[in-house]
Structure 1
Amino acid sequence: MRFGKLIWLVSIGFMSTCCHAADGNSDESALGDFFERKIRPIFAKHCYECHSVDTAEDNGHLALDGRTSLLAGGSRGPIVIPGKPEESLLMTAIGYGDPKLQMPPEGKLSATEIEFLTQWIQKGAFVPEYAPTTQKKGKEIDWNEARAFWSFQPLQSHRPPALAPNAPAQQPIDAFIQHELVQHGLSPSSSADRRTLLRRLSFDLLGLPPNVDDVAEFVNDSRPDAYERAVDRLLASPHFGERWARYWLDLARYTDITPSWLKNADQAWLYRDWVIRALNEDLPYDLFVKRQLAADLLEQKSPEDYAALGLIGLSPTYWKELRLAPGVIEVIVADEWDERIDAVSRTFLGLTVACARCHDHKFDPITTRDYYGMAGIFASTQLSDRPLLPSPLAEQIAEARQRVDQLEESLKAMNDKECDEAKKLKTDIDTIRGTTPMFGTPMAHVVEEASIFVLPDGPEMTKLDIRKNQPRDLPVFRRGNPGNPGEIVSRRFIEVLSPSTPQPFVSGSGRREFAEALFNESRGLTARVITNRLWTHHFGRGLVRTPSDFGIQGERPSHPDLLEWLAESLSDNTDPNSPRAWTMKRLHRQMVTSSTYRQSSETTLGVDGSSAGSQSLQLDPENQWLARMNRRRLDVEPWRDTMLAAAGQLNSTMGGPAAELDLPTNLRRTLYGRVGRDEQNDMLRLYDFPPPTSHSPSRDATTTPLQQLFILNSEFVESQSAAFAAAVQQQKPDASTDEKISRCYQLLFQREPSPQERQLSQRFLTGGTGSVDETRWAIYIQSLYGLNELLFVD
């Protein structure tokens, strides 16, 4: 039967009407980011002192601080062979395999550093080109010129272009788009049919397929504002927050599980649920951000808002073996700050500030002083836990739980669990639990105002000293080494985004001042970045195709005036009659009600031999100018949720703790499946779910044989296929086979099957015998689950 399923899956696959090509442009960006984040810091820390342009002549003519010189190698020849680390001279040197060639001479690199270098060479040893820039005069940055870069500029007001009276523009977005189409000799495609539009909207806004009855009602709705009504209904659905929360959680590297030796993340769902609620309530973006960075420091907040601090409270933390030397632990602590700088700067500013840890940023006007000004904020902020209750009850519970944790550690260390002292500890624990009101309240993973200091505490021992409400400024760590401190830098904002010399942050850690600066000093950049993220998810391609890099190395906007207009519209509150500034649902509505969004994705020729989509495919194959809508691959979450919904199995309960996706009883939305940093669920991993180890700006859809094998062999897909088959049979037991086939297509695709599809379906279900084999229904539906029409959205 397995072989029969495979034959059917292959044969019915020919009926698919969608195709997918992976976007290769994101690969180079990702490789460049890997080099800047992982490889260049290693070279800066261990190699540049001897192997830079200034010192190479005396050290084998090997310079690692330039692209050309690095790839050329030195007097021994090239040091890397792309794709072949085992044959690369660099790996021989750092592996200490040759007694005559051991680098760096002061000691072998850590296992993690060697692994990063191995991965770099395996991936092709990519080194990004330096973009030509005139932002430096000598060794100093020309700040006036640096601030003139397009993304650092204040927002500019742009009027939509004027168009001919018969142009199909619905709103200003279309005026900008159609102006560019005319310039490039293109015409917009006609509108997609209503069924396609409602499917597109439903998956975009809710991550779920539309109800069959909703499609029928919309198709037959003759009111002129029927489409806008459908948009407003979907934006008001509580499922909207679930769909868009998942996009945000990718940026925030959300996890439900951390390795067992790390701080437990079992209450991470409180942050996830806060994000869902905030998006459903249309919390303005400025408040959405400020609460995630500094809810504990804001005057206007509720106890529930502390959960927003999970953005930082769920940051990756690294094992600190306190028997190691303080210098080693200092590097680990600095790595944690670095990760938070990277996540925050890329998420909100679209800038890779973390690349300035060891040296001034190689591309952007971001200095090491900027980096350590920001690092001081996170050095003055420590991860903590807090119940979502008012003070002082919250503090009382937190203190009681901390005391219980200490007593349980003491109890665990005792050899004799029945001695008098152990019995007393158990009694004390029970007393604290019983006398503390609401002791068992879930504890959100938050942050608090506290600094960490790494201190020596005896021979070869280290102590971590947490000092509450004592902020600290950090020195510049020369070449990223905490053991080589330079000048101290005040906690502050990034200089190129400040109108003049940035002023020191003086209020606690500076988190609140940093959050305010995002919407004052860098209002334009902050607005452009989030506007571009929303556009990317709706249209399948960003106006800026590097959503987390708006710097020199990032791509320039394809429609700069449109991006400015949208960002200004989002952030503007000068009109007293307009809604409050930064409301994201308003921006969503602007995008999806445009005629640009409503275009067909069709690229085939019509019966008359003409097609705007076909023309644009020839003249603009990447669809940069949006003469048609992009056909897009579903993320794994809506794909799995669609299978559950079609089978009538979807549990739409919102919020609460996560559960393993592999559990047969877990029929909730995929958003509520447990996500871990060290291991991933097979289904998520196969379908391009990003590992929550770091900020993920986008998902790169892949098409692999393993995905089809998963559909063929997955217990989940098989169980949902069986449930779907049983539901179709039970709903109308006396229905004909043809009616049941129609029902399957209606539930999955909200349409009737074509004559060819009916014929092929009948042939499989009967096995050529003329009578239906009832055991084949589940296999038939399993095959439908694997169709491109379910995997892609038109």
Structure 2
Amino acid sequence: MASGLRRGYNGSLLELLGFRDRSMFANRQQLPCHLLPFFLHDQTAPPVTRDKVPPVRPSFDSYFRRVKQTRSSIACAFRAATACVFIGLSLACHVASAEPNDGATAADQEAYFETNVRPLLIKHCIECHGPDDQSGELRLDRRSSVEKGGGSGPVVVPGQPQQSSLIRAVGYSDLSMQMPPDGKLPPEAIGVLTRWVQTGAYWPEEKDADDAHKTLSPAEQIDAMRQSHWAYRPIETTPPPAVKNNDWAQQPLDQFVLSRLEGSGLQPSEPADRRTLIHRAYFTLLGLPPTYEQVEAFVADQAPNAFEKLVDSLLDNQHYGERWARHWMDIARYADTAGYMAGSRETRYPYAYTYRDYVIDAFNDDKPYDQFVMEQLAADRLPDVESNPQSLAALGFLTVGRRFMNRQHDIIDDRIDVVMRGFLGMTVACARCHDHKYDPIPTADYYSLYGVFASTDEPEELPLLGEPQPSKSYDAFLQEQAKKQKEVDDWLEETRVKTEDELRSRVADYLVYFAQTLPQYENKNVKRQGKRGSLRPEAIKRWQDYLAQYEKAPHPVWSLWHRLAAIAPDQFNDQATAIFAETSDESITQVSPRLLNALRAEPPKTMVDAAQRIGDESEAVYGAWVEANKAEEKPTRLLDDADETIRQELYHAQGPTSLTSEQMVTYLDQGQRNKHNAMIGKVKGVEVSHPGAPPRGMVLVDKKNPIQPVIFRRGQPGNRGDKVPRRFPQVLEHVDGGKPFSDGSGRLELASAIANPKNPLTARVIVNRIWQHQFGQGLVRTASDFGTRGETPTHPELLDYLAAEFMADGWSIKRLQRRILMSSTWQQSSSFRQVAHDTDPENRLLWRMPRRRMEFEPLRDRLLVAAGRLDLSIGGRSVMIHQDAVRRGLYAYVDREDMPSLLASFDLPSPDASQAIRAQTTVPQQALFLLNAKFVIEQAKALANRTADQADVAARITSLYRIALSRDPDSVEIENATAFVNTQHPIDPWAQLSQILLLCNEFAFVE
């Protein structure tokens, strides 16, 4: 049954739903939209047409009667009618899960293997199971050896981790076989290996280079690849080829496409009608549907340049930037959190939204793509940064990635990957542990780039993106921030006063400690403990530094201290008595009479006794001052001059018993520190969550002293090899002359090399990405891998033509978009033709426009548009889209650690790595959401309510179609819908009819 559902199951679905009357299809080539929910649509099979509908079906009326009889709910009717369909889908999904991958391309699988699996095997397994040693006859460094297994047979069963002895061994589930023997791998590493086996244990093919290639030096091999591989060769423009059908080709783009079609004996499809074109253009450029009025106005506009005007208006529309920013955010692995972090550390990126808003503005402003590249890598180093501080938000491209438990090597690896795959289509990260297996990327190139990003830091305080603009919201933010900060300051001041009181009342404890630690006493294990508890380490350091200042200078207290501290222990009694008796020595005559008299009255026998006595006298003075301040009239000094001298010492601003607020923070104990952090968190919370808080950029800054990178052998930081310069990859050294980077970290030089017009990859890669989102597939289908393992272009001359024109047009993405949309190629219909399909089943030659299903964000947006609830405001903080949020889908809060299942079910890509192409799955969760989710049902009710003021049934049905599908219903649709809503239902039939419209193919697919 599963295979039947995956191919041409539409007729069976009609049987399930109970149709038999063919007359209902008389006026429409394809089935009416409400017969087939989009999530059961087979995109690869030709559409069901009226001539393929089986002749015997129950009538449309009988279907609506069935709806009434099935628990009085249209959702229940769909559940009952498609129950076996869901079973079939589940079976199909189960079968698919046993395949070598779960929808990922070979390039994705290879990237996962080279980035995650091979490094684990090298680190933990190769020493005992590699080329030098094969313990248990098992070798784990080659595909053929892994397939063969060891002495006890295969260790990996693709798709079945439970049956794979490798997984049992690393999981320590088999007591007789636990690997590595010196300790169990961390759970994250076991998860990597388990996922690898579960998804088919993909291992790239290993091919030996030919003998001639083996004789070349590494530099010669790179040079040979530079000359032979299409992507590394300079962009070349060739004249558009001659074609037979010159009338069809509106521009050179069409000639390149038509030449390939004619050479294969094919012809392009007929032009799409105007209704199709406007829907396609709106979806492609805005991700929003046109209104009924906009469709009718365009259809009625007979001007030759009507479509040209439409395209220009859409490119100028402020929502254009939102649509295309979402595409770029997949590449930039955008998320609002850092991913899992140990402990209770904050994982939120409070200012990630500023990067998303920067990208929106960049597309809306048609920022030249070379400048777009430069700002995302080095905005802080560009000359206009002071006049354009908003550009600092662009650096979020580097900083919004996953944080890998703060493992810096992995964070840098992620940044290398997103830059090189995102801008250049180069899988440089595969060279982290060894030279790239297929592409001319030695490990030295990887660590050259590693040195660039290792030479950067993220500042503690992120910069404002310009001066905040005065507003009520900003004023409210300042007031709330000041309120929370005052709470912190008041508590800290209260704590500071108490701590100073403690320090002044424990002078003896600290002085005794220092007396005990004098070198001549040879006390090696003196505890930091006084009569009244532990001594503060910070206070010990302050006392130590303070006492050292008066080792030679006269002082009313500490001159005497240093004289006594210099006496040998066995001579202390005699020498101390002699010192107290002196009357002419300045170091004695300036000593506070109170201290001197106290020591003369009963001379101390040891330095510890002297320290105790000096401390006691100081504490007595402190006590006298406290008592004096209890009087109603506060004193300004102590009456006794000798006491006042000591008091001034205790309250000296630079003394060890006085603290500033900043110093107080370092004195906090663990409990106080937790409270202080919590209060600071509330201040930060206002800064990151208050609607009036000014935006800040998630920036990087260059370190003062750049890092000298070295190669990590086998990717291990502890196994250091040769030094390498920070520089651009050698295969592209002709771009910048191969000079080592010398300006700070090298980010600016790296950005300049990527944005250099001589770079053969940059323009090709972005042009291909734009083409991919216009046609559903790129001219190069491996959009982030232009290496030797990636696919070659289907139309290489066209790709180079567009890349050259793109640069000649000032790197303008809007001009590129306009060029594509105005082509006959893009304006073809999506009609299926069997002959063309037999020749080119994957439509690589572009004989028709591919039919495409909307991604989740525009689909959800369209539901809200139909309900009249979509909030079209632009920019700002992310929202919890799985809750009752009505903003556009690209503003969804993306939590790496807790991705809403709704987003994952509808193929929102993982933000853990750069994603070039979204998977497009058909799974039961999608159907269940659209049939039963409260969100969808509420939008259906809201759609019905928008027409509730219309008493005429036919007029109301027409309004529903106009709102939901931007067209009028035909007579059959009005007739059947009228029959349905006129039948008594316990649930509002208008809401049910509205939901049918929201579930149909026409609503969710773009022709």
Same fold (TM over 0.5): yes
1:13 is displaced (CA, Å) by: 9.3
Q: Which position in structure 2 is the counterpart of 1:216? A: 296
| SS, match of residue 177 in structure 1 | helix
Pick which of 497-506 and 310-319 moved more. Answer: 497-506
> After superposition, where does 1:38-117 map in structure 2 within 5 Å?
38-52=116-130, 54-55=131-132, 58-98=134-174, 101-117=177-193
> After superposition, where does 1:520-599 map in structure 2 within 5 Å?
520=756, 523-572=759-808, 579=809, 581-599=810-828
Contact 1:602/1:614 (CA < 8 Å) preserved in 2? no
Percent of aligned positions with the same letter in both sequences? 42
> After superposition, where does 1:633-782 map in structure 2 within 5 Å?
633-664=853-884, 666-730=885-949, 733-734=950-951, 736-767=952-983, 775-782=988-995
1:247 is displaced (CA, Å) by: 0.5
**Hey, what's the Cα distance between the residues in 2 that align with 1:392 and 1:375?**
36
Change (3 A) 1:529 1:2: farther
Contact 1:360/1:366 (CA < 8 Å) preserved in 2? yes
**Hey, what's the Cα distance between the residues in 2 that align with 1:487 and 1:633?**
51
Deviation string for 1:747-769 (max 9, x for gaps)? Answer: 222222244433432333223x6
The residue type paired with residue 790 of structure 1 is: F
Contact 1:131/1:552 (CA < 8 Å) preserved in 2? no
1:243 is displaced (CA, Å) by: 0.3
Q: Which position in structure 2 is the counterpart of 1:608? A: none
**Hey, what's the Cα distance between the residues in 2 that align with 1:143 and 1:83?**
37
**Hey, what's the Cα distance between the residues in 2 that align with 1:103 and 1:483?**
22
1:117 is displaced (CA, Å) by: 0.4
Deviation string for 1:652-708 (max 9, x for gaps)? Answer: 1111111111343x2221122212111123332221111212211111111112111
Change (3 A) 1:641 1:357: same
**Hey, what's the Cα distance between the residues in 2 that align with 1:218 and 1:10?**
39
Q: Which position in structure 1 is the counterpart of 2:705? A: 470
1:297 aligns with 2:526: no
| SS, match of residue 703 in structure 1 | coil
> After superposition, where does 1:435-454 map in structure 2 within 5 Å?
441-450=693-702
Q: Which position in structure 1 is the counterpart of 2:656? A: none
1:110 is displaced (CA, Å) by: 2.1
Give the alignment's TM-score, normalised by structure 2. 0.67
1:207 is displaced (CA, Å) by: 0.4
Change (3 A) 1:389 1:336: closer
The residue type paired with residue 388 of structure 1 is: L
1:314 aligns with 2:530: no
The residue type paired with residue 118 of structure 2 is: R
Change (3 A) 1:389 1:539: closer
Q: Which residue of 491, 495, 508 maps to 2:744?
A: 508
Contact 1:293/1:515 (CA < 8 Å) preserved in 2? yes
Contact 1:411/1:425 (CA < 8 Å) preserved in 2? no
**Hey, what's the Cα distance between the residues in 1 that align with 2:140 and 2:709?**
28
The residue type paired with residue 175 of structure 1 is: Q
Change (3 A) 1:168 1:129: same
Contact 1:310/1:444 (CA < 8 Å) preserved in 2? no
1:333 aligns with 2:408: yes
Q: Which position in structure 1 is the counterpart of 2:830? A: 601
The residue type paired with residue 32 of structure 1 is: E
Contact 2:393/2:699 (CA < 8 Å) preserved in 1? no
Q: Which position in structure 2 is the counterpart of 1:31? A: 109
Deviation string for 1:561-589 (max 9, x for gaps)? Answer: 111111111123xxxxxx4x211101111
Q: Which position in structure 1 is the counterpart of 2:624? A: none
**Hey, what's the Cα distance between the residues in 2 that align with 1:271 and 1:3?**
48
The residue type paired with residue 651 of structure 1 is: D
**Hey, what's the Cα distance between the residues in 2 that align with 1:46 and 1:286?**
42
Change (3 A) 1:49 1:411: farther
Change (3 A) 1:3 1:372: farther
Pick which of 5-14 and 740-749 moved more. Answer: 5-14
1:107 is displaced (CA, Å) by: 3.3
1:344 aligns with 2:419: yes
The residue type paired with residue 4 of structure 1 is: S
Q: Which position in structure 2 is the counterpart of 1:575? A: none
Q: Which position in structure 2 is the counterpart of 1:5? A: 74
1:494 is displaced (CA, Å) by: 0.6
1:787 aligns with 2:1000: yes
Change (3 A) 1:2 1:444: farther
Contact 2:732/2:759 (CA < 8 Å) preserved in 1? no
Q: Which position in structure 2 is the counterpart of 1:463? A: none
1:227 is displaced (CA, Å) by: 0.8
The residue type paired with residue 687 of structure 1 is: F
**Hey, what's the Cα distance between the residues in 1 that align with 2:712 and 2:486?**
39
Contact 1:499/1:521 (CA < 8 Å) preserved in 2? no
**Hey, what's the Cα distance between the residues in 1 that align with 2:792 and 2:209?**
15
| SS, match of residue 462 in structure 2 | strand
| SS, match of residue 948 in structure 2 | helix
Q: Which position in structure 1 is the counterpart of 2:717? A: 482
**Hey, what's the Cα distance between the residues in 1 that align with 2:404 and 2:104?**
29
Structure 1 alignment gaps of length 5 or more:
321-331, 394-401, 451-467, 573-578, 604-612
**Hey, what's the Cα distance between the residues in 2 that align with 1:494 and 1:742?**
61
Q: Which position in structure 1 is the counterpart of 2:330? A: 250
> After superposition, where does 1:51-200 map in structure 2 within 5 Å?
51-52=129-130, 54-55=131-132, 58-98=134-174, 101-130=177-206, 136-137=214-215, 140=218, 142-148=221-227, 149-164=229-244, 166-200=246-280
What is the alpha-carbon root mean square deviation over aligned residues? Answer: 3.6
Change (3 A) 1:262 1:413: farther
1:262 is displaced (CA, Å) by: 4.1
Change (3 A) 1:582 1:415: same
Change (3 A) 1:133 1:544: farther
1:294 is displaced (CA, Å) by: 0.3
The residue type paired with residue 366 of structure 1 is: I
Change (3 A) 1:388 1:91: same
Change (3 A) 1:763 1:261: farther
Change (3 A) 1:136 1:366: farther
**CA radius of gyration, larger in:** 2
**Hey, what's the Cα distance between the residues in 2 that align with 1:763 and 1:306?**
60
The residue type paired with residue 307 of structure 1 is: A
Q: Which position in structure 1 is the counterpart of 2:734? A: 499
The residue type paired with residue 678 of structure 1 is: E
Contact 2:907/2:918 (CA < 8 Å) preserved in 1? yes
Q: Which position in structure 2 is the counterpart of 1:617? A: 837
**Hey, what's the Cα distance between the residues in 1 that align with 2:872 and 2:763?**
33
Q: Which position in structure 2 is the counterpart of 1:328? A: none
Pick which of 473-482 and 229-238 moved more. Answer: 473-482
Contact 2:390/2:466 (CA < 8 Å) preserved in 1? no
Q: How many residues were matched structurally?
A: 727
The residue type paired with residue 205 of structure 2 is: E
**4+ residue runs over 6 A deviation:** 10-14, 19-25, 404-418, 420-424, 426-431, 437-440
1:487 is displaced (CA, Å) by: 1.1
Contact 1:498/1:522 (CA < 8 Å) preserved in 2? no
1:361 is displaced (CA, Å) by: 0.9
Give the alignment's TM-score, normalised by structure 1. 0.85
Deviation string for 1:121-175 (max 9, x for gaps)? Answer: 1111121223665565467351221102111111011111112364411111110
Contact 2:368/2:811 (CA < 8 Å) preserved in 1? yes
The answer to which structure has the higher helix fraction is: 2
